[in-house]
Amino acid sequence: MVSQQEFVKALDLEVISPAREREMPIEVADVCRPGIQFAGYFDVFANARPQVIGKTEMAYLMSLPEAVRSERLRRYFSYDIPCIVIARGMECPQALLEQARENDVPVYGTQAETSMFTGKAIAFLSEALAPRVTQHGVLVDVFGVGVLITGESGVGKSECALELIKRGHQLVADDVVDIARVGRKLRGESPEIVRDFMELRGIGIVDIKLIFGIGAIMRRKTIDMVIHLELWIPGKDYDRLGTKDATMDILGVAVPLINVPVRSGRNLAMIVEIAARNWRLKNEGYNAVNELDRRLGEMYGMQHPHDE
């Protein structure tokens, strides 16, 4: 839920008329422009959303005969409304203000154009009301790809991320990643209290921003793929061709997952870089396995077993 104070502060709103006793929190990541309600249609009314009155709604409301306007406003305010925002710096009509005060509905004002304010409000509410989860791991930006590195404690996640930072990539979060689902996208960031810090066994806590500079960190990043590090198990059948498309479910979103076995001598940072580049190629329609199959098919004049 988003409180009225948070809404006002985030969107820099002027308080025209505050709520006196009842303060309805905002629970929907969208807004309503009530032009059709002012026209008298209430069968479908998104009253739980913040109500945004722009130039069109205001012009129509003020064009109504006084008796009709009063009747429409009474019916309009008979619904539970969290708040009203009047855009473009327009003056709040007295009839609307009186009804708002009578029903204890706060009225705010903004100088922004209606469409610009609407977009900004929806973006803020979508982020603030997004489903969230905390994930153990390290989130880094590698060639513009958001890579969430997971694995058991001590497997080398932070060391791998440190090497990636040395190679010019950016740290988003170490050890604890706060993840929010906005639409079908996952956005990860670090909890504020541990932001920019990394824990390295044997050394302790280090400040990445101070050591490597502000260019080595990023505040938040969309999570595009997960790389899970696990200690090498002799005899285990690991995917050697990349034909197994595994995913990890995070907040209902299936994220591509790669399991990487860890053993002495493996350059994990380079593997993560290759995985990120390969993910981008696949997104652009190129698949190395399919290309190899095609070449083998041309060479032997038959379908390769991978396509069966």
Higher pLDDT, 202 or 257: 257
Q: Is 59 left (phi over 0), alpha (psi -120 to 50) or beta?
A: alpha
Please give the Cα distance from 273 to 147 (Å, whole number).
10
In terms of domains, do 122 and 137 share one?
A: no
CATH number, domain with residue 198: 3.40.50.300
Pairing of strands 204-207, 197-200: antiparallel
Q: Write the pLDDT tens digit of every residue in 74-101.
A: 999 999 999 999 999 999 999 999 999 9
Confidence of residue 232 (pLDDT cuts 50, 70, 90): confident
In terms of domains, do 141 and 287 share one?
A: yes
* pLDDT over 70, % of the chain: 95
**Of 33, 157, 169, 187, which is the active-site residue?**
157
Predicted pLDDT at 60: 96
In terms of domains, do 147 and 288 share one?
A: yes
Higher pLDDT, 285 or 129: 129
Predicted pLDDT at 242: 62
Mean pLDDT of 274-290: 85
In terms of domains, do 92 and 36 share one?
A: yes
In terms of domains, do 114 and 206 share one?
A: no
Predicted pLDDT at 293: 76
- Poorest-pLDDT segment among 64-73, 165-174, 244-253: 244-253
Higher pLDDT, 203 or 296: 203
Q: Write the pLDDT tens digit of every residue in 96-113.
A: 999 999 999 999 999 999
- Whether residue 305 is contained in a domain is answered as no
Mean pLDDT of 111-124: 96
**Of 175, 178, 195, 304, which is the active-site residue?**
175
In terms of domains, do 88 and 154 share one?
A: no
Average pLDDT, the chain: 91
Question: End-to-end alpha-carbon separation of the chain, Å?
Answer: 51
In terms of domains, do 160 and 227 share one?
A: yes
In terms of domains, do 191 and 219 share one?
A: yes
Answer whether residue 9 shows pLDDT above 60: yes
**Of 136, 166, 219, 294, which is the active-site residue?**
136
In terms of domains, do 149 and 47 share one?
A: no
- Whether residue 300 is contained in a domain is answered as no
> How far is residue 60 from each of residues 109, 110, 112, 247, 263, measured CA to CA in Å?
18, 19, 20, 52, 71
Q: Decide if 228 is catalytic.
A: no
Confidence of residue 262 (pLDDT cuts 50, 70, 90): confident
Contact 48, 28 (CB under 8 A): yes
- Whether residue 155 is contained in a domain is answered as yes
DSSP state of 305: G
**Residue 13 CA neighbour count, 13 Å, CB half:** 27
In terms of domains, do 136 and 283 share one?
A: yes
CATH number, domain with residue 47: 3.40.1390.20
Predicted pLDDT at 69: 95
Evaluated on CA atoms 186, 191, 196, 201, the torsion sign reads: negative
Please give the Cα distance from 97 to 16 (Å, whole number).
9
80: buried, middle or exposed (CB in 10 Å: 19+, 13-18, 0-12)?
exposed
Answer whether residue 170 shows pLDDT above 80: yes
Predicted pLDDT at 171: 97
- Whether residue 303 is contained in a domain is answered as no
What value, to the nearest 5°, has the Cα angle with vertex 194 and ends 267 and 146? Answer: 45
Pairing of strands 253-262, 246-250: antiparallel
Predicted pLDDT at 182: 87
Which residues constitute the domain of residue 83?
4-128
Boundary residue ending a domain (88, 107, 128) = 128
3-state helix, strand, coil in the chain (%, to 5): 35, 25, 40
* Number of domains, the chain: 2
Please give the Cα distance from 30 to 126 (Å, whole number).
8
Boundary residue ending a domain (76, 97, 128) = 128
Answer whether residue 239 shows pLDDT above 70: no
Q: Decide if 175 is catalytic.
A: yes
Answer whether residue 37 shows pLDDT above 70: yes
In terms of domains, do 39 and 119 share one?
A: yes
- Whether residue 101 is contained in a domain is answered as yes
Mean pLDDT of 30-57: 96
Predicted pLDDT at 283: 85
Please give the Cα distance from 114 to 118 (Å, whole number).
6
Answer whether residue 264 shows pLDDT above 70: yes
Q: Is 204 left (phi over 0), alpha (psi -120 to 50) or beta?
A: left
Answer whether residue 184 shows pLDDT above 60: yes
- Whether residue 301 is contained in a domain is answered as no
Please give the Cα distance from 282 to 257 (Å, whole number).
14
Boundary residue ending a domain (82, 112, 128) = 128
Task: For residue 188, count other CB atoms closer than 10 A to its CB.
Answer: 22
**Of 20, 184, 236, 240, which is the active-site residue?**
240
Please give the Cα distance from 117 to 132 (Å, whole number).
25
Predicted pLDDT at 297: 79
In terms of domains, do 90 and 169 share one?
A: no
Q: Decide if 136 is catalytic.
A: yes
